[in-house]
Amino acid sequence: MLKSKKSKMLSIAIATLVAGSLLSGCGSSSSSSTTSKSAQIIKYNLGANPKTIDPGLNSSVEGATVIANAFEGLTDVDANNKPHPGVAKSWTISADGKHYVFHLRKDAKWSDGKPVTAKDFEYAWKRALAPETASDYAYQLYYLKNAQGYNESSLPADQKTPGVAAATADQVGVKATDDYTLDVELENPTPYFLSLMAFQTYMPLRKDVIDAHPKDWAINGPTYVSNGAFKMVDWKQKDKLEFVKNPNYWNKSAVKLDKLTYTVLDDETSYMSAYQSGQVDIIDAPPTEQIPSLLKSGKAKSYVNIGTYYYSFNLDPTAKVDPAVAKAMDNVKVRQAISLAIDRTSLVKNVTKAGQIPSTTFVPSGIIGPDGKDFKQKKYYSATADVKKAKQLLADAGYADGNNFPSIELIYNNGEGHQSVAEAIQAMLKKNLNINITLRSVERKVQLDETSKHTYTGMARNGWSADYVDPMTFLDMWVTGGGNNTAGYSNKAYDKLIEEAKAETNATKRFKEMHDAEDILMTDMPIIPLYEYNVISCMKDYVKGVYRTPMDTVYFTNAYVQK
């Protein structure tokens, strides 16, 4: 943190993840693009067609990478995930850590040449918080004074968070005092706030553009006005997104690429073939069966990703699902039994095969606390299956040996890797508990839609990568009514601990409160953590300067093709 001396709440240990100089290609290194090696063009496969690339509405890693390269926040992050000046050239922080004043650079411009102003940030933040926007990530702005009260202002009284007073947009703690000064007031000191300024929901937006094209501004090149290194030319749905260097970007001299293309192939065999034939320069998650040999030969590289691959149960009491399924899912002993019946060690060894770590907590390793130790200090269950206890819990729930247990559907987004994991879980649950799980593969957009709206029946595949390096990024998503609470989970005691931890300034006590919250989460088991993420990536050896943060966001600002 730039202001770490003002906060003793958190020290962070993360890996430096510079891809450009370290990564060699999968398959034959002689395979080369017909365009990339003769021009400054890079083609990166996102792995899915983004549901949206609106910074205020996106909640997927695919959209996040596109946004990170098209927009720039008050701060930016480097390969070490350290914040540094972006649109803000400098800032001051009050002694109590609750008041920030950002001073914007006057040469920052939008892709259409108009100046970026402090008002663009104020508008974007309040737009994400506005109840009518229905942003999944509105809670990420609750650090701002009165932000939660404004976001919840239209909710019925019984759905509002206790103790949070209703507020208007004018009362939210962000105000442009002039074109180049942004005044920000926080509810509580937030040690990672400068890192948050590089997060997508805090990106600036143009009110005039969105007012003129409220429904489609973020899907068409001419209206997707951005302020970062690249500007969109075209988005061919389910095919590719085409970007070019933004000639109005204030730091355009650092940008070497002329063109950046994102392909959206979601089938591992297809994008591996495209990579080997030179149609794509970078892919992530090559076919599972090839990963061990690719890693061993150095043709692929594993990158740290502070994240967790997990399944969620649909616990939303308003969800329209089969009553028998709802009854089973609502029983905590059923959820615990299903979790304990899964052999995570076997899963990562025999199915994913990419060196992942079995998850025995929801918060993954890699986040260091004030005691110098990793936050992940506890194992809530064995990494191998505890079949005896799982069977007993299922019997205690009234489904001895799986009798009378309803068939549960598990949805997952397209991809051989997700399918292999789902099939392995399906087999484990049949063998160890004698319960039947049906599988349904859907497009990424559908998966995101069904999980966010709680319209899926039974269970759903999900994953979460850190938005910033603090346990809170994994914990505050599970508060009642949270926009990314894919389980529809609610526990008032949990909510209270998260609220207290956000307001706590004593680092040791704060981490204790977050540990206590995770204790509740892992007892209630609304989710099944399966393994800690890593990223297996293949990159052509002529691609340089690309870097990936531990949040699984890929940056191309400094990328280039070595001819």
List pLDDT tens digits, range 221-250. Answer: 999 999 999 999 999 999 999 999 999 999
Looking at per-residue pLDDT, the higher value among 78 and 8 belongs to 78
- Cα three-residue angle 22-23-25, rounded to 5 degrees: 150
Q: What is the pTM of this model?
A: 0.84
The residue among 328, 342, 310, 347 whose CA lies nearest residue 451 is 310
Query: Strand 240-245 to strand 527-539: parallel, antiparallel, or no bridges (unpaired)?
Result: unpaired
pLDDT of residue 18: 34
For the stretch 25-44, pLDDT in tens is 464 443 444 444 568 999 99
Confidence of residue 163 (pLDDT cuts 50, 70, 90): confident
CATH entry 3.20.20.140 includes domain 75-107+117-203:
no
Residue 194 has pLDDT above 60, yes or no: yes
Q: Report helix, strand or coil for 475.
A: helix
Q: Report helix, strand or coil for 43.
A: strand
Decide: residue 484, CB within 10 A, 0-12 exposed, 13-18 middle, 19+ buried: middle
In sequence order, the 6+-apart residues with CB closer than 8 A to the CB of 122 are 174, 175, 176, 182
Residue 78 has pLDDT above 90, yes or no: no
Confidence of residue 304 (pLDDT cuts 50, 70, 90): confident
The residue among 180, 134, 197, 173 whose CA lies nearest residue 3 is 197
Helices (H), 259-404: 268-276, 291-297, 323-329, 332-340, 344-346, 387-396
Q: In degrees to the nearest 10, what's the CA dihedral of 246, 249, 251, 253?
A: 40
> Where does CATH 3.10.105.10 sit in the chain?
305-534
Residue 13 has pLDDT above 50, yes or no: no
Tokens of 82: 């350290």
Q: Report helix, strand or coil for 561.
A: strand
Q: What is the CATH number of domain 305-534?
A: 3.10.105.10
> Where does CATH 3.90.76.10 sit in the chain?
75-107+117-203
Residue 10 has pLDDT above 50, yes or no: no
Q: What is the mean pLDDT of residues 66-89?
A: 93
